[in-house]
Amino acid sequence: MSAEIFEQKNDAEIVTAKRFIDFVNGFNRPLVCQVCGSQQWSVLVTNEIKVKDDEPEHTVIETIGYAKFNKAEDSAINYPGGLPIIRMTCGSCGHLLLFSYKAVRKMISEKDGESKGE
């Protein structure tokens, strides 16, 4: 399945919450909630979870799943994987903003390359 349109790399650098916040703040515009007007946001880029006691923690990322819709049965079959996202949640009303993880990672990488004179 090739629904993901952004470049995929082995051993790609993980976008941290700090890097993402720096990226968003780089637009020099306040990020105001469309619903309530608040500027209080929490950010989730990656999370560390413990699956089994005898294994190290896993770095996980949220995704929006892909599913094949079966019109005749009015059902959907989920595919593994999905579109990786970065989630921002308004601290006042709970409204969500979603960013494409891979698109943001690519833009950060390109900006880093420009700042290093590449």
Q: How far is CA 43 from CA 6, 49, 65, in A?
A: 22, 17, 20
- pLDDT of 1 > 90? The answer is no
Q: 6-62, pLDDT tens digit by residue?
A: 455 666 788 999 999 999 999 999 999 999 999 999 999 988 988 888 889 988 889
62 to 24, 39, 96, 98: CA distances (angstroms): 19, 23, 13, 10
Burial 33-56 (b: 16+ CB within 10 A, else e): beeeeeeebebebbeeeeeeeeee
Strands 67-70 and 75-78: antiparallel
